[in-house]
Chains A and B, each alone.
Chain A
Amino acid sequence: MIQIERLNKSFGSADNIHHVLHDIDLTINDGDVFGIIGSSGAGKSTLVRCINLLERPTSGKIIIDGKDVTNYKGKDLLDLRESIGMIFQNFSLFQQRSVLKNVTFPLEVNGKKMSKSERLERAHELLKLVELDDKIKQYPSQLSGGQQQRVAIARALVSKPKIMLCDEATSALDTKTTASILDLLGSINRELGVTMVMITHSLAVAQRVCNRIAVIDDGRIVEEGTTAQVFGNPQSPITKELLRNDNLTTMSQTGDESDNSSLPEQA
């Protein structure tokens, strides 16, 4: 479980301070696929980066499985990060490492001594899971975007994290590839029990995989609830605005009449 308590984050120094996150309170339960949506610059990435302390909170607490990790340093910090996988919008694969070596990276850098053959074996297992075990000798630049993100997913999972952070993981992919990546993430969540925190600007993506959603605007959580609640009965004006601006073709599946009626005009 991830508990975020009265989290504040600001950048810059005293004379030029930029307050990015305001008193964020959030609880993400084990097994959740937790969506974070909001417009550009709202603070989504900053919030998620606070969870593995790539950003240090200015104040407030990050509590993971009951442990206050906010001030973790040194080995504790590195161990914490090892227990949280992360995937990125642009995949961030190491270009000079083969697919297999990309996946072994987290095992190479962590303190637990694993022999080289164990590392390769484990990486191989993960590449099988993402159905890329025929590409282990290739280099990232030889793969399609979807394949690269699969490698990144394998890399994020290789050290058996309980939590996976996804920052716009499908934004660089086409619709079909997005669907297959989301299905993969969904099955990882169900079968491996990995808790997912998923930033997305696409409501369709959020709707497809998330069970809970928080809407963030200008550094504040303006709405939080189950996906059905947030999409079906939005409370905050911001959420309504987001729903209106999205031409939500997928909303038709939930039978939201008001949104469907506007589709012909937009087309």
Chain B
Amino acid sequence: MEWFSTFYETYGDLLIKGTLDSLYMTSISTLLAYVFGIPLGVLVVLTAQNGLHPNKAVNTILGWIINIGRSIPFIILLFAIIPFTRLVAGTSLGVKGAIVPLVVTAVPFVARMVEQSLADIDAGLVEAGQSFGANTWQIVYKVYLKESLPSIIRGAAITFISLFGYVAMAGCVGAGGLGDIAIRYGYQRYKPDVMVVAVILCVVLVQLVQTIGDFIARKVDKRVVR
């Protein structure tokens, strides 16, 4: 108990700030990744050969972009796009500087997950939508997105958790957050207790996000298992 209060007094503020920074960076980048990733995923589905607007050229090019984006390791991307990050965020350092590479790395990932979620819905529903005179836009938001919402929410929890891991790596650019703390205190200053607590906090947060994600997805899903 005594250990705890001394520990809390010394590192409490640091860890709380780290937790908040981690959550902030992860949430903002997940959100932005969906802002760009959903339209991209939808576009891939629409332009596919069996899509509503087959377009081989567009579909192939989008596929390339997504695959290239997904194949570059985050740690390399982080440094490789520094000029771009500076252009967009004004800095390549700190929380702001970390969000740009996080979003860039997540967008192709999200696009693929959204594509998968949309492709999983029964093709008959799209056909039904069309048969009642729905236009493409209506099919996208009233059929594709509406019907795959539970799956998209599950995907968002996965994205959040993956990005949470990347946020730790972004600690390399001084982004802050729990991962940053774990590395700096654990390895550089040899304070294993700080590292352990930071890691435990990470584990707890990941569990929490997964649980919340599953809960919302279940709440939203109107299909009952019989």
Contacts and interface: CB of A to CB of B under 8 A. Distances in A.
Interface of A: 52, 54, 78-82, 84-86, 88, 90, 92-98, 105-106, 108-110, 139, 141-142, 155, 159, 165
A97 B223 contact: no
A96 B147 contact: yes
B193 interface: no
B135 A109 contact: yes
B4 to A, nearest CB: 47
A54 B130 contact: yes
Nearest to A95: B223
Interface in B45-73: none
Contacts of A109: 129, 132-135, 138, 142
Interface of B: 122, 124-125, 127-135, 138, 142-143, 146-147, 149-150, 220-224, 226
Given A109-B135, A141-B226, A142-B224, A92 B130 contact: no
Given A139-B222, A141-B224, A141-B226, A97 B146 contact: yes
A92 B122 CA distance: 8
Contacts of A82: 132-133
B223 A92 contact: no
Given A52-B131, A85-B131, 13 more contacts: A54-B130, A81-B131, A86-B132, A90-B122, A92-B124, A94-B147, A96-B220, A96-B222, A96-B223, A105-B134, A106-B133, A109-B133, A141-B222
B132 A139 contact: no
A142 B222 CA distance: 9
B223 A81 contact: no
Contact of B132 (A93, A97, A105, A142): A105
B132 A159 contact: yes
A139 B224 CA distance: 8
Q: Quick one: which of B133, B149, B221, B226 has the most chain A CB within 10 A?
A: B133
B133 A94 contact: no
Contacts of B128: 86, 88, 92-94
Contacts of A105: 129, 132, 134, 142
Nearest to A84: B131
Nearest to B222: A139
A94 to B, nearest CB: 6
